[in-house]
Structure 1
Amino acid sequence: MLLSFTSAICLSVLSVARAAAVPKGFVTTKGTEFELDGKPFRFVGANSYWLPLLITDSDVHSTFEQMRDAGVKVVRTWGFNAINGTELAGALESNLTYYQVWDSSDWIVNDGPQGLQRLDKVVETAGQYDIKLIVTFTNNWVGYGGSDLYLAWIAGNPATHDIFFTDPKIVASYQRYVTTIVERYKNSPNIFAWELMNEARCLSDTYPSGPACVPGTETITKWYEQQSDFVRNKHFVSDPFHMITTGGEGQFFWNDPGLASDYNFDGQAGEDFNREQSLSNIDFAVYHMYPESWESQLLSSATATQDIEAWGLDWITNHSIGVNSNFSLLKDIAHASIVAKQAKKPLILEEFGVTNKSAIYPSWVQRALDTEHSIMPWQFGALGLTEDGGNRLIKYADQVLDGASPNDGLAIYKNNTDIWDIFTKAAKIQISRSK
């Protein structure tokens, strides 16, 4: 679509503004590197969706202290926590953190002490421990309220999940919430980046995908473009410096008959990792990795551990250079290579998990280091939490148990010494490269 003369001038002015000196403490990009105050910024980070769910300042401080001591520099957490109006009484009783309450096809924000003031505390405290935050605006899945709440309340009983990405009323409601978060923290150097959605897919936990989101439609790619442009341009004058990323799992859309039934490569999930990196307001690339749940055939072999490890190594390499290191999965090589070279953006392995951690993580982490990734395992485990005597049911099966933060089977605690050491050693390497 052609821009009007006025729009073209505005975008030109905005581009010049963003090229200006970045304020002290804000992370930015320079080619394939992150940069902080004029120096390279490479890191090992962590995921902690539960940080804003903690109810005591002391436990928030304790968690960040443990992260700092482990060498963590960036933490990814949810900037969303939404409930239905019918859940409000229970949330008040249990002291659950919530930012949005949905009712009558709309939501109201909770900026009180049980709401966004808890996120305020997390953002403020992060800076005290020299840690930056990736803040995610919404969830593809049902956990803690996400896209399906927008669908249920605004669209009624939609047949398919992809309506979330295309319905104008839903998009406007999402953007109103994004505005609430961005305006609140636009001046904070403790924010590393805004993230548009956790693991956007054509389908969700509740709704299937539909004909508007099939391989080649670019429904999610267009949504990424629309929302990143919204964040960048609408808030540019007051917030030109925070980076933006997708939050996607990094599935590919490769035109190859051999992968016609593998949604990680054939576009069924709705993502096109290579295409997404060409978007002008996506500042860096992220992807996730869970081969045990994604690729069930890997578990049918007597050499399951080796197969899972090899699959992950290929997945890391495919994202770092667009092609596979040993060419066993060589697909659409010319297109992938060109896009990877043109994008020239930093890359984060933003989520990953496996059950046999001690056998597999060393090679995965080393491959990420060798290909100049930043690394963020799922998920950080904190010990010694004291709220409610160290035992508190938060929501779903998430709980603080015997002083330990929620564990979905993938949490990494300091007393898991062999696993902990993998990441603390990698953190030291990344810190040494940030000079």
Structure 2
Amino acid sequence: MQPRGFVRVSGDRLRLVEADGSPFYFCGANCYYLLTRAADPATRHECTAVLDDAAAAGITVLRTWAFADGEQWSALQTRPGVFEERTFRALDWVVAEAGRRSMRLLLNLTNYWKDYGGMRVYVQWAYEARGQQPPMDGSGQVAAEPFYTDPDCQRMFRAYMAAVVQRVNTLTGVRYSEDPTILAWGLANEPRCEGDHACAVVPFWADAMARHLKSLDPHHLVTLDTEGFLGPSTPDEAAHSNPYSCAGTGCDFAADCGSPAIDFACAHLYPDLWLPQADEQERLRFALRWLDCHVAVARRMGKPLVLSEWGKQRSQAGEAAATGGSSRAGFYAQVLGRCVQHMQAGGLAGTAFWMMAAPSYPDYDGFTVYFHSPPSSGTGGGTANISSSSSQPEQMLPARAGERTAAVIRQHAATVALLNGRPEIASGQLPYLAQPAASLGHPSASVTPAGSISSAPHHLPLPAVGGGHGQTVHSGGSGRGRFCYCYCCCPQM
């Protein structure tokens, strides 16, 4: 069963909606490897596992790469305009299988970082074609910055976008530009730009590329998948909300996402990486402040916000038995609870945690959340050679360690499903999802009508999503929602 139709931006510019006008909030996940691993019969099962686990958990959007450039395993574009048909057919398969599960895809088209090719490969191709040596960055890699302004790079990238969006799926017979399974095109993952006047470069490039992409495909949403670092266009927010001095990144969230051709804004969130010296409470406070700030800035821009990458590394100590949940599960519950409040008030359209993987796929960065019972370390599940405790993936810890965070995500997916399927919840009529508008900084946000919150706590059951616990949502006379995930000690929002 295919998704119903193309998602669009609501008339008030605060939400995403289905073609019929019904709300489209989403609980999403990242899995960057779907394209390349689907291209190899020996690893395609790791893609099927993610699709099946995501569908079973109620995850409705997967964010993944629609590029793999240069000389690498399962490359899609091996040279400028030269495509490996086997890999393109793997992308056909990913799109078809997602649609069959009524899921949607957020497909990114290139990458600032060197992984999977991206901007640096275009720079290398352009300079080699002219018989020149490509410029290098401070780390000895080909620099990405010329990509934004070099005419040959732009010509190659425009041709690449055309080849992808005009592709006719060999499995469904549907042109990508006409397939509602694709939620949106992401112009680039985490674009940055160093150098003089850097903060003006990415917005100019993004506007030109978004307009061109819209000319090729007027049906789909377009976004720029930024990290969200705040810059000169929002100096107060940059001074108070950035995790560190971000001037050297050349990022300016409001300017980068400001083009009228960009339909919704994206931001990422990694307190563990951005605030390495902070304690857990400081990181949580930063995360909530970062989310509040970006929703507010996006609202001023007239764009919904998507938290398209975010996560927390698992604790090296595993789960905190004394509280019945790990610090990661508690962090997820707090952040996702605030996300629901922003969805209800208007401004946040969806989230996609980093990351989801098959049980056999190693947890390379400590952020992976597994939704399936993994094989033991002695069964050849792909991680037996990882022996150091600092890099040991969560899937090799006791099975319970990974389930608590997954349970929080499942419960969030169920709550988002209620927002989509129950208009009275989406419009703020049920008190257990209510949050006073002033506390979220939204003067125009809808709130629960006065007198509709009972002075005594009550419990409303949510759809069963596994775990065997009574999953309820609590509220009381204060109007501050308490989301019960069972594994996380009902963190107060």
**Length-normalised TM-score, structure 1:** 0.73
Q: Is the 8 A contact 2:107 2:182 kept in 1?
A: yes
- Could you tell me which runs of 5 or more consecutive residues in structure 1 were left unpaired when the two chains were aligned: 1-22, 88-95, 203-208, 299-303, 323-339, 384-389
Q: Is the 8 A contact 1:378 1:410 kept in 2?
A: no
Larger relative contact order, structure 1 or 2 (CA cutoff 8 Å, min sep 6): 1
Structure 1 residues 75 and 418: alpha-carbon distance in aligned structure 2, compared to 1, 3 A threshold: same
Structure 1 residues 412 and 359: alpha-carbon distance in aligned structure 2, compared to 1, 3 A threshold: farther
CA distance in 2, matches of 1:391, 1:257: 38
Instruction: Deviation per CA, 1:174-221: give whole Å up to 9, x if none.
Output: 11111111111112111110000010011xxxxxx22241xxx41111
1:8-407 alignment runs, 5 A limit: 24-30=4-10, 31-38=13-20, 39-52=22-35, 53-54=37-38, 55-56=40-41, 59-84=46-71, 96-102=73-79, 106=80, 108-111=82-85, 113=86, 115-155=87-127, 156-159=133-136, 160-184=143-167, 185-202=176-193, 209-213=194-198, 217-233=199-215, 235=216, 239-253=217-231, 254-255=234-235, 259=239, 266-298=246-278, 304-322=279-297, 340-355=298-313, 356-372=327-343, 373=348, 374-383=350-359, 402-403=380-381
> What code does the residue aligned with 1:348 have?
V
Aligned residues: 353
CA distance in 2, matches of 1:33, 1:257: 23
Structure 1 residues 129 and 260: alpha-carbon distance in aligned structure 2, compared to 1, 3 A threshold: closer
CA distance in 2, matches of 1:192, 1:229: 17
CA distance in 2, matches of 1:148, 1:345: 30
Q: Is the 8 A contact 1:256 1:266 kept in 2?
A: no
After superposing the two structures, state which structure 1 stretch, 265-274 or 122-131, moved more: 265-274
1:421 maps to which residue? 407
Structure 1 residues 258 and 34: alpha-carbon distance in aligned structure 2, compared to 1, 3 A threshold: closer
Give the superposition deviation at 1:350: 0.7
> What code does the residue aligned with 2:211 have?
D
Structure 1 residues 346 and 392: alpha-carbon distance in aligned structure 2, compared to 1, 3 A threshold: closer
1:15 maps to which residue? none
Q: Is the 8 A contact 2:267 2:309 kept in 1?
A: yes
> What code does the residue aligned with 1:98 have?
A
CA distance in 2, matches of 1:307, 1:122: 39
> What code does the residue aligned with 1:196 have?
L
After superposing the two structures, state which structure 1 stretch, 184-193 or 349-358, moved more: 349-358
Q: Is the 8 A contact 2:50 2:356 kept in 1?
A: no
Identity, in percent, stands at 26
After superposing the two structures, state which structure 1 stretch, 32-41 or 120-129, moved more: 32-41
After superposing the two structures, state which structure 1 stretch, 277-286 or 311-320, moved more: 277-286
CA distance in 2, matches of 1:108, 1:350: 30
CA distance in 1, matches of 2:395, 2:115: 21
Instruction: Deviation per CA, 1:216-268: give whole Å up to 9, x if none.
Output: x41111111111011012x1xxx311100001111111435994996766543
Give the superposition deviation at 1:316: 0.6
Q: Is the 8 A contact 2:241 2:293 kept in 1?
A: no
> What code does the residue aligned with 1:380 have?
M
Instruction: Deviation per CA, 1:251-289: give whole Å up to 9, x if none.
Output: 111435994996766543222222344311111111101
Structure 1 residues 100 and 409: alpha-carbon distance in aligned structure 2, compared to 1, 3 A threshold: farther
Structure 1 residues 285 and 201: alpha-carbon distance in aligned structure 2, compared to 1, 3 A threshold: same
Structure 1 residues 59 and 353: alpha-carbon distance in aligned structure 2, compared to 1, 3 A threshold: closer
CA distance in 1, matches of 2:48, 2:115: 25
Structure 1 residues 62 and 318: alpha-carbon distance in aligned structure 2, compared to 1, 3 A threshold: same
CA distance in 2, matches of 1:228, 1:309: 34
Give the superposition deviation at 1:409: 7.9
> What code does the residue aligned with 1:108 have?
V
2:469 maps to which residue? none
After superposing the two structures, state which structure 1 stretch, 30-39 or 262-271, moved more: 262-271
Give SS of 1:210's match: coil
The structure with more radius of gyration: 2
Structure 1 residues 175 and 143: alpha-carbon distance in aligned structure 2, compared to 1, 3 A threshold: same
Instruction: Deviation per CA, 1:363-390: give whole Å up to 9, x if none.
Output: 111111111131110001323xxxxxx6
